[in-house]
Structure 1
Amino acid sequence: MYGLISLAIVLIAWAAVSARAARWSVTIPVALMLAGLLLAMGDEPLVSIDLASSAMRHLLQATLALLLFTDATEISLRRLREAGHLPLRLLLIAFPLTVVAGYLAGAVLFPQAGVWILALVAAALAATDSSLAAMLVHDRRIPHDLRTAVTVESGLNDGLAAPLVLAFLAAAVAADQDRGPSQVIGHTVREVALALLVGVVVGGGAARLLRVTRKRGWGTARAERLAYLAIGVLAFEAAHAVHGNGIVAGFVAGMAVRAVDQDLPETHLQTSHDVVGLLAAGVWFLFGSLIPQVIGDVWDWRMLLYAGLSLTLVRMLPVAASLVGLRRFKREVLLLSWLGPRGLPSVIFALIALQQLTGPPAALVAALVMATVLFSVLAHGLSAVPIAQRWTDPRVRAGGPPA
């Protein structure tokens, strides 16, 4: 009860000062994390959330499914064409290389950790969240194709990361229970296959129906806004009903909606965005409340180093490799390399993992993801304004030869 009351008060207070806070690069994730941290500190914390409950597990999975659904519905073919080859290279080359680089960094720093745990962390942190750098992504001083590429990458790579994270998590749990990997892999493949089917049928079928009725004037915009939110919920729950993966189904349903209805008005997705925004606020608040439980003997210099590497070399080298041959200016390559904030998807992946893992593996996943996301929220939020201002500097704008 006190958790919801506290969250509601924080959101109201944030609405009153959000414009002024933006001048100091203070974002809502920062505000919610701090609020959750402060209210969860002490011997008798005001906020205490049972992460292990089945209801919380279902809510976290539904939140991620709706997040992936709304992200996927935003990516139109027109936007992809505007960004050229950039988003495809980021998704098909940089993303898998980032997962590999994250795993190798973990293997060097934590050789005692299990293979599946390190792969789980690497995949969870390969997903990006452009909303943490929204001030920069929406700044018109930054070239349009770069901003579009970052938006497209952020909208789709979390959907690519989801099946990897869930497969690695299942393998880690199975290894802990001395179960064979073939059984886990087979089960995961069946779940994903069912999710693909449900997502295509629900998303494509509902989108086609709404597209036809909208052209004939049978419905209203207000009703359609609710309907598109319902599509994401239906895909998630229907996949669970047939023992498929609801998270993947939500992402596929969003892709199917956009593929079937290319002319879908952005305003018709506003309710979905608002609901996801509210759920995301709760996740950030929950994330902050868990910080006191994680900080302590678990953290050491290696975890801080891993977080730093995850935001720099683990991200930057794969992005630079993916852009070879495109003759982009060096400053553009650096910007795309830097604009890979780790945020909400990584947090939810970690929270889902913590519900199934125990002991040192759970502590390691929590510490690595928490450290990386904390660094990212601060670094990407505070660097947005200076980067945009420097981009307008004539000496920088002149640049050098393309990379």
Structure 2
Amino acid sequence: MYELIGLSVVLIAWAVVSGRAARYSITVPIALMLAGHLLAGGSAPLITIDASSTVLQHPLQATLALILFADGTGIALGRLRGTGHLPLRLLLIAFPLTVLLGYLAGSLLFPAASGWVIALVAAAVAASDVSLAEAAVHDERIPHDVRLAVKVESGFNDGLAAPLVLFFLGGALAAGHEEGTAPLLSHTVRELAIALVVGVAAGAGAGRLLRWARKRAWSAVAAERLAYVAVGVLAFEAAHALHGNGIVAGFVAGLAVRAADRDLPAAHVQTVHDVVMLLSAGVWFVFGSMVWQSMAALNWQVAVYALLSLTVVRMLPVALSLAGSHRSRREVLLLGWLGPCGLPSVIFALLAVEELRGPAAALTAVLITATVLLSVLAHGLSAAPIAQRWELGPVRPAGPRGRAARR
């Protein structure tokens, strides 16, 4: 009860100052995280939140499922083709290389840790959250195709990270299990297979039905907005009921909805995004409450891992994926930097900490917390200055229409 009261007061207060705060690059995650720390963190919290409570696990999973569902419905295939090969390079080359490089960095810095746990963390922090750099992504001074590629990448790579995180979590749990690794890993694979089937069935079926009704003017926009929220919830809960993974089912359902209805109007899924925004605010508030406890284990290895995750581990794979693409150095650096580690990583951490125990849980929590905390501050505060300085860069030669373009 008190948690919701506190969150409600914070959201109202944020609405009052949000416009002025934006001038100073203070984003929603920064504000909610700080509020969660002040009200529910520290040694004498005003509100008590148990981030590892089993009560929170189902809502957290549902939140991530709806986030992924919204991501899946947000990018049309035609729009993806319009960006050329840029997002495909980021997703098919840079993303797996980022996970691999993150694993290698973690193994070197924490040689005594389980390889499964290090792989879990590497996959979790490889998921990007473009909302942390919103000021740059929506600024028209930055090239349109670069901004669109970042949005597409962020919409898809958290969906790609989810099954990897769950698979590595299954391996971490199985490592100390008497029955061995194979049975639990096969169970994880079975959950993912069920999620795939449920997601396709729910998303494609509902998408075609709603498209059919809209074409015949049978449906109302307000009702469709609620219906698309229901599709995401249906995929998540149905997968759970069938002992599948509801998080992956949500992402697959979003993709299936968009595939079945390529002309889906953005206004019809606005309620989905509004619900996701509200749930996300709650997650950032909870994350702020756990920062103090998680960061108690901070040491130089953790700090180095967090710094590497946002720089070399992210930027080197992006640079390699763009080799031969004739992109300017500024664009390559920008694409490498615009890979914030945010909300999906937080939820992965909260879910993993509930399942893991002892040193594995502590290491997972501190590594992801440190990386997300650094990313929230670094990407949130740098987004607007990057956009402002972009137009000061060198000018490209004039195009066929005689207009010069900034690099």
Name the TM tier (shorter chain): over 0.9
Change (3 A) 1:42 1:326: closer
Please tell me whether the aligned partners of residues 47 and 289 of structure 1 are also in contact (alpha carbons under 8 angstroms): no
Q: Any conservation in 2 of the 1:391–1:397 contact (CA below 8 Å)?
A: no
- 1:93 corresponds to: 93
Paired residues of 1:65 and 1:236 also in contact (CA < 8 A): yes
* Residue 40 (structure 1) shift: 2.3
State the alpha-carbon separation in 2 of the partners of residues 42 and 224 from structure 1.
43
Mapped pair 1:121 → 2:121:
yes
Distance, in Å, in 1 between the alignment partners of 2:41 and 2:158 is 31
CA RMSD of the aligned region, Å?
1.4
Structure 1 runs of 4+ with >4 Å offset: none
Q: Distance in 1 between matches of 2:291 and 2:318?
A: 31
Residue in 1 aligned with 2:208?
Answer: 208
Tell me the equivalent position of 2:344: 345
Name 2:112's counterpart in structure 1: 112
Q: Which residue of 2 aligns with 1:320?
A: 319
Q: Provide the aligned length of Structure 1 versus Structure 2.
A: 399
Question: Scaled by the length of structure 2, what TM-score is found?
Answer: 0.96
- Report the Cα distance in structure 2 between the residues aligned to 1:347 and 1:52, rounded to whole angstroms: 12
Do structure 1's residue 282 and structure 2's residue 279 form an aligned pair? no
2:183 corresponds in structure 1 to: 183
| Corresponding position of 2:66 | 66
- 172-181 or 109-118: bigger deviation: 172-181
> What residue number does 2:364 align with?
365
Distance in 2 separating the partners of 1:351 and 1:79: 33
Q: In the alignment, what sits opposite 1:84? A: 84
Residue 42 (structure 1) shift? 4.7
Matches within 5 A, 1:212-291: 212-291=212-291
**How far 1:396 sits from its partner (Å)?**
6.6
Partner of 2:310: 311
Which residue is equivalent to 1:193? 193
My pick for the range that moved more, 323-332 or 223-232, is 323-332
Tell me the SS of whatever aligns to 1:334: helix
Distance 2:302 2:237 in 1: 37
More deviation, 142-151/79-88: 79-88
Residue identity (%): 67
Partner of 1:332: 331
Residue identity matched to 1:211: R
Q: Secondary structure at the match of 1:195?
A: helix
Question: Structure 1, residues 353-372: CA drift from partner, whole Å, max 9, x if none?
Answer: 01111111111111111111
The unaligned stretches of length 5 or more in structure 2 are 398-406
| Residue pairs, 1:105-184, within 5 angstroms | 105-184=105-184
Offset of residue 281 of structure 1: 0.3
- Matches of 2:394 and 2:209 in 1, distance apart? 54
- What is the DSSP-based 3-state SS (H/G/I as helix, E as strand, rest coil) of the residue aligned with 2:355? coil
> Offset of 1:41 from its aligned partner?
3.7
The one-letter code of the counterpart of 1:110 is: F
Asked if 2 retains the 8 angstrom alpha-carbon contact of 1:2 and 1:46, the reply is no
1:253-312: CA deviation from partner (whole Å, max 9, x where unpaired): 00000001010000011110011101000000000000121122x110110110000000
Kindly provide the CA deviation profile for residues 85-135 of structure 1, in whole angstroms up to 9, marking residues without a partner as x: 011110000000000000000001000100000000000011000000011
